[in-house]
Amino acid sequence: MSATAPRISREERIAEILQAARELFSDKGYEQSSMAEIAARVGVVEGTIYKYFESKRELLLSVLTHWYEGMFGDYAEDLNGIHGARARLQFLIWRHLRTLRDNPDFCRLTFNEFRVEKDYHGSKLQGLNKRYTELLVQVLEEGMQSGQIRNDLPASLLRDMIYGGIEHHAWPYLCGHGKLDIDAIAEQITGLLWQGIPTQNLHTETQRLTELATRLEQKLDSAS
Amino acid sequence: MSATAPRISREERIAEILQAARELFSDKGYEQSSMAEIAARVGVVEGTIYKYFESKRELLLSVLTHWYEGMFGDYAEDLNGIHGARARLQFLIWRHLRTLRDNPDFCRLTFNEFRVEKDYHGSKLQGLNKRYTELLVQVLEEGMQSGQIRNDLPASLLRDMIYGGIEHHAWPYLCGHGKLDIDAIAEQITGLLWQGIPTQNLHTETQRLTELATRLEQKLDSAS
DNA sequence: TCATTTAAGTGAGTCTAACTCACTTTATAC
DNA sequence: GTATAAAGTGAGTTAGACTCACTTAAATGA
């Protein structure tokens, strides 16, 4: 009765398992998904999965890692066509939001399982995430060097405020509640940051101009 | 051989269980803690815990809820003694950071288990969290009404940027890596926000004064 | 073409930990 | 003192991650 699964290559089978696991994890979450169900979807038996993945947790990390690698895509390339710190910053924020909007289930999974310290710290996934967020840090530091962005705040803090803020803000949407207007939010966040980020300071700038005006007025008075 | 546990009142037993569960969850995390070990610490048998808590998950939510209720304390009261939107904002940021710094294990647990959508949305815990973050929203909205804070950004977005940013930034510390200089960070975050938040806009203000200076200069030139 | 080897696939079984329930025991009320 | 309510028990059930000795299809090589 039990039809045995057709034999295919290691690579194909791994791809199938990753695909099925990704769908199930995204759909039901990590804890709620069972290895048995993943196996059933692939059309093999549980033991087969353990031929390719040491544990359920390793399978999850593989799923996340594969997705991450695919997602990088042309981020850096797209960025090349955009000039000016503000525009580049807004692009990265918008692009991040777009990823969240287009893959809510998967991003929820990622955020949920990302941090579980035990196996995340020092993992390949952490490396990928670091590489991903490093793009933003670079943009910020370029902006600091070119004088467009104030340099009295660590870029890492700004990075955390941006990604942390976005994650928090998008969470209800990722859980299926409400909409995510990515254009408006990208605009708002950039607008918020931008007035905080520029090198120029409101007070010194105002002071400079006030002094200038006063000087002119004195000249005017003495001339008349 | 098996000494039976001394009989104590329902309330006392619940308090004991909550205490033991809190310690164990904080120490080892939710998944890594077993009901058997919690029971052993209290000195009862597993079944006893189920007399008072329907499930492990409900026990966790109770632990978190109890801590939250205790933590509110005199937040609102302290806030009464502080005036000015900036100072009030900085206080709330600093106070939040202080809580993270003083309870890293517990806060890590909270952040890890908070979001698991299934039982969080609509729970008592969500209500408490909402009440907690509402304090910040109120401070922001007061600031908007008094003209100290720009009102073209939703307060909820600012709230998310602040709490999300802090959570992200503190995460390594909560996991035992590095320090958390709460005074410096509170100062930096407030500094970042404050230049973004004021009603006055750097660009329009600068522009206005530049025009004024130019006008005066022209007058001066034509007079001489 | 057939024997040998390799590796994909199997499924029964182990183990752990959450959860259940019929029962026992202690304290309190009358 | 007996009845009763409630605290506590512990042997069991169940679910799901993980193991391993085994089977069998395919590839290899004479």
pLDDT tens per residue, range A23-37: 999 999 999 999 999
| Distance between the alpha carbon (CA) of A9 and the C1' atom of D29, Å | 21
pTM, whole model, 2 decimals? 0.88
* Strand D footprint nucleotides (protein C-beta < 7 Å): 6-12, 15-21, 24-26
Residue A205 clears pLDDT 50, i.e. is over it: yes
Residue A199 clears pLDDT 70, i.e. is over it: no
With a 7 Å cutoff on the CB, does A47 touch strand C?
A: yes
| Distance between the alpha carbon (CA) of A11 and the C1' atom of C2, Å | 30
Comparing C-alpha atoms, which of A98, A27, A21, A34 is closest to residue A67? A21
Residue A140 clears pLDDT 80, i.e. is over it: yes
Query: Nearest Cβ partner of A121 from B162, B175, B219?
Result: B175
pLDDT of B209 reads 77
DSSP class of residue A3?
Answer: P
Contacts of B162 in chain A (CB under 8 A): 165
Averaged over B180-184, what is the pLDDT?
98
| Contact flag A206-B201 (C-beta cutoff 8 Å) | no
Residues present in chain A in total:
224
Residue B199 clears pLDDT 60, i.e. is over it: no
Residue B20 clears pLDDT 80, i.e. is over it: yes
* Strand C footprint nucleotides (protein C-beta < 7 Å): 7-13, 16-22, 25-27
Comparing C-alpha atoms, which of A190, A63, A81, A54 is closest to residue A128? A63
Residue B1 clears pLDDT 70, i.e. is over it: no
Residue B162 clears pLDDT 70, i.e. is over it: yes
Looking at per-residue pLDDT, the higher value among A204 and B35 belongs to: B35
In order of A48, A172, B137, B138, the CA distances from B125 in angstroms are 41, 16, 18, 20
Q: How many CA atoms lie within 13 A of B72 on its CB side?
A: 16
pLDDT of A50 reads 98
Between chain A and chain B, the number of residue pairs with CB atoms below 8 A apart is 149
Among A107-121, B66-80, B112-126, B187-201, the minimum mean pLDDT is found in B187-201
Q: What percent of chain A has pLDDT over 70?
A: 92
pLDDT of A2 reads 47
Query: Nearest Cβ partner of B168 from A152, A164, A171?
Result: A164
In order of A30, A116, A177, B211, the CA distances from A112 in angstroms are 9, 8, 17, 53
Alpha-carbon gap: B150 to the closest alpha carbon of chain A (Å): 10
Residue B200 clears pLDDT 60, i.e. is over it: no
Is A78 strand, coil or helix? helix
Max mean pLDDT range (A18-22, A77-81, A205-209, B212-216): A18-22
Contacts of A187 in chain B (CB under 8 A): none
Averaged over A32-52, what is the pLDDT?
97
CA separation for the pair B79, B89 (Å, rounded): 10
Query: Nearest Cβ partner of A209 from B162, B171, B209?
Result: B209
Q: What percent of chain B has pLDDT over 70?
A: 92
